[in-house]
Each structure stands twice: as structure tokens, then as C-alpha cells.
Structure 1
Amino acid sequence: MSLGQKIGRLRQERGLTLQEVSDGSGLTPSFLSRLERDKVNISVANLRKLAQFFSVQMTHFFEGEDSQQAGQVLTVADRVRLSLDDAPVQVYALLPPNSDLEARLLEARPGSGQQGFSGRGSQMVLVLQGQLRYTLGDEEYTLNTGDTLFYRDDMAHSWINSGETLAVVLTVSALAGREER
């Protein structure tokens, strides 16, 4: 099942109209309609808006059948890319769906970065390689290889790869107040 079909099925399972999803996510009804019919691609930022609206993790949209095993291994080949192929920041999901955590591996080209979103939990950032300049509200932090930053994900935040090489970053989010599915 395609990403658009999964979004459409989730909307229908919850008895929502395109307009209701639009009102709650900030995406236009026409975009949502084209997305459900696989006529457009969605950015990571907009997919996050939908995940927050539906109170699911972003990986929910990529999950397959539930596994009956006690553990699950996600190989490098099994990682779900959450970004477009040519995006300056590549984002990969690291955990299986239905986890209480959201973990991502980010690979950011020099000078690239992302604007943060107000979230509903705590965030940990570990720089595996490179250097980031991280802004939380009015405070700014420089993170080098091996540095960790922890914060509540309820304020405006952004970051940029301030180094001259590829930055590789692990992020882990503990989702507070997450609805059980």
C-alpha cells in the first residue's frame, strides 16, 4: 500500500473529511486529495504535520504488517527514508513502527539544516560526526562530534550544519501524551 493510500485509509478509519484534516494539519484539501491519490510527494515537514494531527509517529505511514516476534531488526537496507532523494538533509527512521520512541538518523550537508516544530515530548540529539549550531528559543549551542543535547520539544528550535563536512546526527524523541492505537 502506498503512502498516500495509507494516509487516506487512516483519514477514512477516523471518519474525517479532507476539510477536517486540512483544518487540523494546515495542508490544503486539494493537496491532501492529490496526496491520497499518489499524485504529489510530501515533504518531511508536512508529513510530520499529518503525524501530529493523527497522533501517530511518522513511521506509522510506512509500516507493514505487525510482527509476531519478540524483537525486530531493521537493517540498513530496511530503513525508511523520510526525505526526498535530493534533499540536503537525508532523514531515516531507525525504529520499527508502534514504538514509544521516535529515532532518526540525519545526514546533513554543510550549510543545511531544519526548522523545529513544537512537539509533545522530549528530544535528544547526538552528533555522531560533524558540527551543528542548534538554536532553542533565544539560546544557541554549538555541538561537535560526540556532543549530546537534551531538551523539551515544546519551543521553537532550529539547527544548521555549521561545519565543512557532512554531519551525521542521531535524534531520539520520547513522545509524551501519545494516544494508544
Structure 2
Amino acid sequence: MKHGDGGDPDDSRDPIDARLAARLAALRAERGWSLGELADRSGVSRSTLSRAERCEISPTASLLNRLCAVHGRTMSQLLSEVEATSAQVVRADEQTVWTDPASGFERRSVSPPQAGLRAEVVEGHLDAGADLSYDRPPVPGLEQHIWVLEGTLTLTVGDSEHTLHAGDCVRFRLWGPTRFHCPGPEPVRYALVVVEP
């Protein structure tokens, strides 16, 4: 998700960024929360929340994770709410790709969530040296399976650290913080299967 520097009000914005900003504002409005209340609940500053809702910044994965936790959604659920209607078959060129501006983490929604279905598949990509941390799960007790397709991933779940190479898989229920790190020298690509509790 990329957009201009904000200097020109008519600059072209990524449509996903714009729809995401509108959805974040709508979620807050649906609960009747002020920016201050949401800031208190999420631990994100009022100014950052305001800029995200006005599409002045592209939210990071960490910021989205905090907001998902407050609203009781997975990141895929939130992103699917700003996509076109879900289909049974999702072609590769129609899958939504989102990039975290802070870490460069690229997230492809391989099978966006649908009402009534609990599992989803995501593809992750981190360049060598990239680091991505979450201080809490978006939904406590979320089941995750991570299967490394290429490269090496160092994954920390709570107090446990796992070094995973191509073909390795780890599964767990998510209750606390997680950290994804690509030690390199090559990038890492992995499949993430998420199952709601």
C-alpha cells in the first residue's frame, strides 16, 4: 500500500489505503468511541490514529495488529472488509498484497476470510534482516501454522524461539507477543494458516 507524501491533496492514493482509512474510521464510529478512547484502548497515539483515518499515513503491521485486537478481528478479516466481495476461487492476480511501510513485510491474502469459514491462508515475505514484532495477538487463542517455503525464518512465540528452514513447519496457539525475523542472507517466504478459535 503506497501513496504520495501528502504534499498534494489530489495525489493518487492506493485505493486499498483509502478504503482501509475509511474502514478504520467507521469501526471507531460504530462503537461510539472518540479518538482519545481508542487511543486509550489500543495504546496508539491520538495523532497517529487520526492520520491513519485520514489516509495521511499507511498504517504499519504493528498498528493494524493493535487495532485488530481492540476490534476483535484478525488482520485478514480487516483487510477483507476493504476488498471487493469474496469469491470461492481467488486468482493469483486478484489476491490482495499489502506491504508494511516500516518493515517491508509483504502480506498476500491467498484465501481471504469468508463468513462461516474459520481458516485462511496468507503468504508472507520478509527481506534479509527484516524484523516484524507484534505485542499481542489480534484474537487471543488464534491457531497458526507457519510453513517456510523459501529461506530461513526465526520465529519467537512468547518465550520460545524457532529457527525454521525451507520445508519446516511450526504450529501453535497465539496468546502473547510474536516476532518474525529473516536472518538472511536470502529473503524468506512462508505460508501462514490462521484458524480462529
Task: State the TM-score bracket (shorter-chain normalisation).
Answer: 0.7 to 0.9
Structure-2 residue corresponding to 1:27: 44
Matched with 2:56 is 39
Question: How has the CA–CA distance of structure 1 residues 2 and 155 changed in structure 2, closer, same or farther, with 3 Å as cutoff?
Answer: closer
Q: Which deviates more from structure 2 when the two are superposed, residues 43-52 or residues 85-94? A: 85-94
Percentage of matched positions with identical amino acids:
25
Match of 1:53 in 2: 70
Q: TM-score, normalised by structure 1?
A: 0.82
Task: Quote the residue 1:75 is aligned against.
Answer: 91
Q: Rate the CA distance shift 1:104–1:12 in 2: closer, same or farther, 3 A.
A: same
Q: Give the whole-Å Cα distance in 1 for the aligned partners of 2:160 and 2:24.
A: 37
CA distance in 2, matches of 1:156, 1:86: 18
Paired residues of 1:57 and 1:102 also in contact (CA < 8 A): no
CA distance, structure 1, for counterparts of residue 50 and residue 101 of structure 2: 23
Match of 1:131 among 147, 152, 158: 152
Q: Which residue in the other structure is 1:154 paired with? A: 175
SS of alignment partner, residue 82 of structure 1: strand
Residue equivalent to 2:15: none
Per-residue CA deviation, residues 112-138 of structure 1 (Å, 9 max, x unaligned), is 232244321222110011112223344
Distance in 2, matches of 1:110 and 1:42, equals 22
Give the distance between the partners of 2:125 and 2:84, measured in 1 at CA. Answer: 28
1:90-169 matches, within 5 Å, as 90-98=106-114, 99-119=117-137, 120=140, 121-169=142-190
Name the SS for the 2:99 alignment partner.
Answer: coil
CA gap of 1:10–1:80, structure 2 versus 1, over 3 A, is same
Any gaps of 5 or more consecutive residues in structure 1?
177-181
* Partner SS, residue 38 of structure 1: coil
- TM-score, structure 2 as length reference: 0.76
RMSD: 2.3
Q: How many residue pairs get matched?
A: 173
Q: Assess if the C-alpha contact under 8 Å between 2:20 and 2:79 holds in 1.
A: yes
| Alpha-carbon distance in structure 2 between the residues aligned to 1:84 and 1:142 | 23
Secondary structure class of the residue paired with 2:68: helix
Aligned equivalents of 1:44, 1:101: Cα separation in 2: 20
**Structure 2: unaligned runs, 5 residues or longer:** 1-17
